[in-house]
């Protein structure tokens, strides 16, 4: 029951923060959607970091390390430290400049202007929304699961289940609903400012609680006098195949480098970039992002590989689902109080991504569809009303879809990232290559859709064949060279197809108008 009250207290704090942020609301659509470009370096760092780190950073990193060993850090974390900051530096600062100068609120507004094409918006809109929705669903479903697991035993008579790990916990649909309502409240009233503040607060929460959890679990599992001694005992107990990358493909590791490029095309991150007060606000996020990733990921990866050692008590047995390893260890090793706080940390990581995605989709519907085609001269008040209406609709739709519990939605994560990564050449060329034409852009988008669709349907076919969604998550391509078969991520092929189609179609078609180039390449 303590855990339930800790979670409720935390959600109450978030609501207060959102309401406080709403008191600073200036009543304009620019304030609602991009906080009037007023966010300084620290808030930008925390909000951007919170947005890019989903629940996967805490729960998934532990689960993946449990399954694959320490190699997941290089595959997912250190690579992101290099690539994310590269995107902030090369894309974020320039896009912020254009957003500020020409009043953009969404990516599609930028692409329509840069490519002199109205229809590119119609092509990009369903793709961007389609890639964000599964990502949102993962957050909504995870929040319900975390709430149920961490409050298990709080309501034994009200919510009994057959499983001891969840019996008496808040049912998943109630937990998801509660989280959706809290996020909806502070996004609805606080807009982007409320979202940025809540993100910053939640990022602090999950970073601090992650480190605290690491210390407590190390001391409990190690069973020695000091933390140092416990770390040593646990380190020595890690099996060789988890302490090295003996079972990991080198080419898969290499091609995974393309996955973090997805941040360059995340529509919600684009919107966060636009909130910056000045170009200088980007400096702190660019420098600190890799270190922040390390602070969150190294403890989680270590906990994951410790869970494979014989130092973990045999009873109760470890859960079959790797994503349940961290909550399980907290619950069995750290007691109820820390368990409550860790639940808060995981929920913070989930909500700090959900809020930006809800706001972003609301803004896209308002600006790219209704504002663009039906109400070009809508007043500020009307735009805010529309954005809020769409945010409610998106939250409701996502919640209802979440109730259906699509069986393979978690396996979709890497596919969403691959789709965004493969559109990276488009945004990069739009900023740095004058010769990019709208036909080149169409080529990039259509090549991405075609190759992504081909590989994805192949993965689904394999999943149907074996009767479980596993192959969707683990799908790779085999490249045969010199008699050797190399395993590569599908993103490598999709990215290459997108790049070739973009360059070829651009070179074969008429260059952009000089006035367009002057607008975007004056400096």
Interacting residue ranges for other proteins, rule: CB under 8 A:
36-43, 70-71, 73-74, 77-79, 81-82, 85-86, 89-90, 93-94, 96-97, 100-101, 193, 231-232, 234-236, 238, 240, 243-246, 248, 250, 253-254, 257, 276-280, 283, 286-291, 293-294, 298, 301-302, 305, 523
- The nearer residue to other proteins, 74 or 406, going by C-beta atoms, is 74
The minimum distance between CB 100 and other proteins, in angstroms, equals 5
Each residue of 75-110: b (16+ CB within 10 Å) or e? bbbbbbbebbbbbbeebbbbbbebbeeeebbbbbbb
- Cβ neighbors of 209 (< 8 A, separation 6 or more) are 341, 342, 344, 345, 348
The minimum distance between CB 257 and other proteins, in angstroms, equals 7
Whole-angstrom distance, CA of residue 395 vs CA of residue 361 = 10
The minimum distance between CB 109 and other proteins, in angstroms, equals 18
- The nearer residue to other proteins, 127 or 254, going by C-beta atoms, is 254
Whole-angstrom distance, CA of residue 218 vs CA of residue 226 = 10
- The nearer residue to other proteins, 118 or 236, going by C-beta atoms, is 236
The minimum distance between CB 258 and other proteins, in angstroms, equals 11
- The nearer residue to other proteins, 425 or 469, going by C-beta atoms, is 425
The minimum distance between CB 84 and other proteins, in angstroms, equals 9
Phi first, then psi, for residue 286 (nearest 5°) are -60, -45
- Cβ neighbors of 515 (< 8 A, separation 6 or more) are none
The minimum distance between CB 214 and other proteins, in angstroms, equals 12
The minimum distance between CB 262 and other proteins, in angstroms, equals 17
Residue 129 near residue 361, CB atoms below 8 Å: yes
Strand partners, 486: 479
The minimum distance between CB 245 and other proteins, in angstroms, equals 5
- Residue 326, classed as helix, strand or coil, is helix
- The nearer residue to other proteins, 295 or 392, going by C-beta atoms, is 295
Q: Is 242 exposed, middle or buried (0-12, 13-18, 19+ CB in 10 A)?
A: buried
- The nearer residue to other proteins, 84 or 112, going by C-beta atoms, is 84
Q: Is 484 exposed, middle or buried (0-12, 13-18, 19+ CB in 10 A)?
A: exposed
Q: How many CA atoms lie within 13 A of 347 on its CB side?
A: 32
- The nearer residue to other proteins, 329 or 445, going by C-beta atoms, is 329
Whole-angstrom distance, CA of residue 214 vs CA of residue 311 = 15
Whole-angstrom distance, CA of residue 299 vs CA of residue 221 = 14
- The nearer residue to other proteins, 246 or 397, going by C-beta atoms, is 246
């Amino acid at each position: 029951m303590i855990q339930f009250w800790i979670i409720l207290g935390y959600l109450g704090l978030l609501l207060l923060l959102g309401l406080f942020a709403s008191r600073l609301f200036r009543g304009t659509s620019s304030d609602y959607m991009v906080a009037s470009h007023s966010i300084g370096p620290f808030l930008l760092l925390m909000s951007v970091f919170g947005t890019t780190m989903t629940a996967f950073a805490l729960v998934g990193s532990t689960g993946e390390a449990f399954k694959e060993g320490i190699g997941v850090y290089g595959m997912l974390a250190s690579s992101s430290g290099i690539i994310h900051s590269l995107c902030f530096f090369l894309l974020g600062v320039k896009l912020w400049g254009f957003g500020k100068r020409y009043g953009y609120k969404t990516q599609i507004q930028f692409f329509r202007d840069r490519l002199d094409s109205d229809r590119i918006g119609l092509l990009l809109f369903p793709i961007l929304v389609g890639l964000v929705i599964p990502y949102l669903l993962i957050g909504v479903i995870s929040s319900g699961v975390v709430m149920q697991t961490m409050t298990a035993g709080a309501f034994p008579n009200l919510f009994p289940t057959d499983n001891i790990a969840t019996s008496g916990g808040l049912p998943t649909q109630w937990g998801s609903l509660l989280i959706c309502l809290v996020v909806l409240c502070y996004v609805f009233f606080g807009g982007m400012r409320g979202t940025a503040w809540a993100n910053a607060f939640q990022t602090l929460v999950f970073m601090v609680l992650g480190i605290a959890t690491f210390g407590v679990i190390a001391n409990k599992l190690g069973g020695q006098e000091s933390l140092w001694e416990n770390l040593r005992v646990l380190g020595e107990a890690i099996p060789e195949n988890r302490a090295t990358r003996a079972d990991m493909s080198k080419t898969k590791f290499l091609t995974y480098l393309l996955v973090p490029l997805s941040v360059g095309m995340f529509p919600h991150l684009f919107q966060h970039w636009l909130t910056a007060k000045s170009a200088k606000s980007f400096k702190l996020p660019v420098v600190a992002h890799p270190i922040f990733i390390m602070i969150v990921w190294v403890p989680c990866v270590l906990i994951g590989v410790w869970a494979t050692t014989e130092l973990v008590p045999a009873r109760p047995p470890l859960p079959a689902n790797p994503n349940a390893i961290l909550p399980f260890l907290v619950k069995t090793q750290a007691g109820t109080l820390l368990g409550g706080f860790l639940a808060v940390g995981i929920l913070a990581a989930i909500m700090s991504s959900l809020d930006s995605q809800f706001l972003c989709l609301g803004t896209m519907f308002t600006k790219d569809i209704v504002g663009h085609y039906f109400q070009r001269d809508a007043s500020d008040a009307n735009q805010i009303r529309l954005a809020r209406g769409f945010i409610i609709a998106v939250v409701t739709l996502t919640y209802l879809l979440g109730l259906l519990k699509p069986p393979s939605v978690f396996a979709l994560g890497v596919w969403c990232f691959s789709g965004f990564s493969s559109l990276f050449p488009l945004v990069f060329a739009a900023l740095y290559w004058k010769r990019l034409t709208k036909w080149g852009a169409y080529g990039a988008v259509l090549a991405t859709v075609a190759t992504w669709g081909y590989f994805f349907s192949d993965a689904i076919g394999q999943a149907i064949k074996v009767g479980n969604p596993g192959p969707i998550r683990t799908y790779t391509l085999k490249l045969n060279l010199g008699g050797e078969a190399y395993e590569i991520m599908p993103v490598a092929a999709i990215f290459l197809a997108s790049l070739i189609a973009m360059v070829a179609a651009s070179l074969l078609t008429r260059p952009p108008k000089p006035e367009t180039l002057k607008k975007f390449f004056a400096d």
